[in-house]
Amino acid sequence: GGQNSGAEEETSTPPRKYKSMRDVMEKAPRVEYEETAQVIEACLLAHEEPQTYDEARGNGEWEEAMKEEIEMIEKNRTWKLVNKPEKKNVISVKWIYKIKTDANGNHIKHKARLVARGFSQAYGVDYL
């Protein structure tokens, strides 16, 4: 004969190596996470770094950090105030806020930096 003795049928499907997401989810225990999510959100918001001056304003720790930064700028003579030249773009500034932590994640201090936004100027127009 023409028979293939011992050969597997071509219609058999190979065993699955992975479980489908549906199988996993159907067998997973049902847990309510809403309360845990609210606690996590509260913790994250409590340590959030402001993105703008308006967000930092009114918070004593951030106001103290900004005051320290201004004092250091003045002490180190980092910037010099001058009259604005005609037809020149003025460089704006932005506050950057960071919470400094130790190796265990404990707050050490609030740090504020006042940075120049030099990208607002054009070479050959505002500076050479």
- Provide the domain limits for residue 83: 21-120
- In this structure, is residue 13 part of a structural domain? no
- In this structure, is residue 53 part of a structural domain? yes
Token digits of residue 63: 């106001």
- In this structure, is residue 5 part of a structural domain? no
The pLDDT assigned to 44 comes to 65
Domain count, the chain: 1
Report the amino acid identity of residue 65: A
Q: Looking at per-residue confidence, does 92 or 94 come out higher?
A: 94
- In this structure, is residue 10 part of a structural domain? no
HEC states along 20-39?
CHHHHHHHCCCCCCHHHHHH
Is 70 exceeded by the pLDDT of residue 11?
no
pLDDT tens string 61-92: 999 999 999 999 999 998 888 888 888 777 88
pLDDT tens string 43-64: 666 558 999 999 999 999 999 9
